[in-house]
Structure 1
């Protein structure tokens, strides 16, 4: 293990233990992490974890050792949290989630960012692919039950999608190919006029879809920038922290 990795483990990152691993669908897994530091976390719904899943693997570059994953659920009283990880790619994240076992140690750091739950709107549009599903579930649970919520969650195969932590499926699933920007925008033209009051959109997943949909909201619908929260979770031309 390199000197930098030892510093990361000792000073920068918190340690957690994998206590559960379960298949959620044909291509997604739930990983439960337990740590005393989770009990003390100043958690804001919509936060991420920076996970050092490649630490100790000398064949992987430093930028590829770190992956960001949404916190799907957290129990501070018992000191654990859940993440949901899709396995579409052939990268280090996919390999790690397939190989990891209960009892393994994992190193992480909190990352809040700007894709956090905001309860101030009256109506919401939640949009993303499988990589964003657990995050959208967290947002949906946090904004309150009295809000109007429209959603588009898509994947090439519907069986890849999975229910929320309580077994419910509150979001609308669509079977669409990768990068279905035009199909999504056509659907948004139907949905957008039904949204009432103060509106807000959460757009996540494939960077190509994020860019196209963000442009649609700003240019065609004339939404203000502060109404649109966008988070590209992955880019087909990039990996790791590039």
Structure 2
């Protein structure tokens, strides 16, 4: 292990994997326990920077850390859950397939801006499998009186797993990759159901995030503060959140 990795391990928080469960054909739930969780000022929508390549000399430094959404957190028991999809052959996929309970992990918090915002009356959640756990925790922490519509899609609808409480609060769709036109076809009917101040969360495929951000601003005349986007991956890049 090099000097840089030794420093990384000292500055990062340390945790232990206590549970690994397969949620669907390509998605694993990973539960992490760490004393630091009890004191974190957590806002639904925060990420983890997780060291998935520490100790592997054949992996470039830029690929040793990956970002994952926090799906659930329990400060009393000092645990948090991640839901990680294993599509592709990247370092993140290899790590989650090979990790096991009692493994030590190193991480730090990444707060970002794609977090819960309770200022709207109605919400629209749009995303693919990679965004599902992130949208789940935001939805779960909205006040009960908020109205929520959704378009959550996957090429294989069976990959879309339930939330931590076993419910499916979102509408699931079977769609191919980059389904811009199909999403647009479903939008107006959902928006018509939304009352008061509206907000949309768009996450997952960067192409969809960009295209829908433009559509909401230019075609529907929504204001920038009504539109929250977060690209989790890009088909032409490696390691994008």
TM-score (norm 2): 0.98
Counting only pairs closer than 5 Å after superposition, residues 132-143 of structure 1 correspond to structure 2 as 132-143=131-142
Q: Output the CA distance in 2 between the equivalents of 1:67 and 1:97.
A: 11
User: Counterpart in 1 of 2:84?
Assistant: 85
* Structure 1 segments (4+ residues) deviating >4 Å: none
Do 2:232 and 2:240's aligned partners in 1 also have CA atoms closer than 8 Å? no
User: Counterpart in 2 of 1:222?
Assistant: 221
Q: Output the CA distance in 1 between the equivalents of 2:240 and 2:4.
A: 17
2:165 is aligned with 1:163: no
User: Counterpart in 1 of 2:108?
Assistant: 109
Q: Report how far residue 219 of structure 1 moved.
A: 0.6
Q: Output the CA distance in 1 between the equivalents of 2:186 and 2:108.
A: 37
Helix, strand or coil: the match of 2:192?
A: helix
User: Counterpart in 1 of 2:118?
Assistant: 119
* Farther-moved stretch of structure 1 (29-38 vs 179-188): 179-188
User: Counterpart in 2 of 1:19?
Assistant: 18
Q: 1:58 to 1:49 in 2, by over 3 A?
A: same
Spell out, residue by residue over 1:103-132, the C-alpha distance to the aligned partner (whole angstroms, 9 max, x if none).
Answer: 111110001100000111100000100000
User: Counterpart in 2 of 1:8?
Assistant: 8
User: Counterpart in 2 of 1:66?
Assistant: 65
Q: Report how far residue 241 of structure 1 moved.
A: 5.5
Do 2:151 and 2:173's aligned partners in 1 also have CA atoms closer than 8 Å? yes
Q: Output the CA distance in 1 between the equivalents of 2:240 and 2:203.
A: 17
Do 2:68 and 2:82's aligned partners in 1 also have CA atoms closer than 8 Å? yes
2:173 is aligned with 1:174: yes
- Unmatched tracts of structure 1, length 5 or more: none
Helix, strand or coil: the match of 2:164?
A: coil
Q: Report how far residue 189 of structure 1 moved.
A: 2.5
Q: Output the CA distance in 2 between the equivalents of 1:185 and 1:51.
A: 35
TM-score (norm 1): 0.97
**How many correspondences in the alignment?**
241
Q: 1:67 to 1:201 in 2, by over 3 A?
A: same
RMSD: 1.0
Do 1:63 and 1:241's aligned partners in 2 also have CA atoms closer than 8 Å? no
Helix, strand or coil: the match of 2:24?
A: coil
Do 2:13 and 2:107's aligned partners in 1 also have CA atoms closer than 8 Å? yes
